[in-house]
Amino acid sequence: MKKFERFIIYPMLFIALFFSFADYGVQQTTAQQVYDEIIAKSIKVVDDEGNVRVGISTNKVTNSGTINIRNTHSGNFLSLGPSFDDEGFVIAFMKKSDSDKSVLNYFMPLEIGHNGKYSFINLKNSNGDKQITISSDENGHGLINVYDKYGEEWMSYDYK
């Protein structure tokens, strides 16, 4: 190998070694560009410390998409996505367990949807039992159902 070849080969070798050990896990950019379409399996928005605050991803249980927004201090979050029975969309609040802060308790106080016949809004208690349902009856008139604390028995108020 000639002396001038060493000035080309050795720097290229060091550059190749550097890039082989570099971490490709996170890409950061400050450049702004407008795209017509972005295709991704998930998108995460993080704060300055790298904690995920907003996530848009697919839901493996319902085979659809969800949007999650996390609370900065408590770690609780709001989730927007389809209901498990495919009757509409659900706004769910995930709350950390009081006994074990690493466990999230599923709490879905509000459900908005459509079951093929009419639209509805269900308000639920902390046990997940229906408390109030606002919808329409079989004649297309407005209907309000008020349930007992177990979500079993109810009284209906509708237009006659």
Strand 104-114 relative to strand 88-96, pairing? antiparallel
Residue 90 or residue 125, greater confidence: 125
Residue 71, CA distances (Å) to 76, 96, 99, 157 in order: 5, 11, 19, 37
**Percent of the chain residues past pLDDT 70, beyond the cut:** 69
Question: Is 55 inside a domain boundary?
Answer: yes
Contacts of 96 (CB under 8 A, 6+ apart): 74, 75, 76, 102, 103, 104, 105
Q: Given this model, what pLDDT does residue 134 score?
A: 93
**Total domains in the fold of the chain:** 1
* CA nearest neighbour of 57 among 23, 80, 89: 80
Residue 84 or residue 152, greater confidence: 152
Q: Which two tokens stand for residue 138?
A: 């079989």
Report the phi/psi class of residue 84: left, alpha or beta, with left for phi > 0 and alpha for psi in -120 to 50: alpha
Q: Given this model, what pLDDT does residue 20 score?
A: 66
Question: Is 2 inside a domain boundary?
Answer: no
Q: Given this model, what pLDDT does residue 143 score?
A: 92
Q: What is the mean pLDDT of residues 132-146?
A: 89
- Angle at the Cα of 153 from the Cα atoms of 93 and 118, rounded to 5 degrees: 65
Q: Quote the CA–CA distance of 129 and 133 in Å, as a whole number.
A: 11
pTM of the model: 0.55
Confidence of residue 144 (pLDDT cuts 50, 70, 90): very high
Top mean pLDDT of 78-92, 101-115, 120-134 is at 120-134
Confidence of residue 119 (pLDDT cuts 50, 70, 90): confident
Question: Is 142 inside a domain boundary?
Answer: no
Question: Is 85 inside a domain boundary?
Answer: yes
Question: Is 22 inside a domain boundary?
Answer: no
Question: Is 98 inside a domain boundary?
Answer: yes
Q: Given this model, what pLDDT does residue 52 score?
A: 83
Structural domain range at position 39: 29-114
Question: Is 41 inside a domain boundary?
Answer: yes
Q: Given this model, what pLDDT does residue 68 score?
A: 85
Q: pLDDT tens digit string along 15-58?
A: 776 666 665 555 566 667 778 888 888 899 888 888 888 889 88
Question: Is 141 inside a domain boundary?
Answer: no
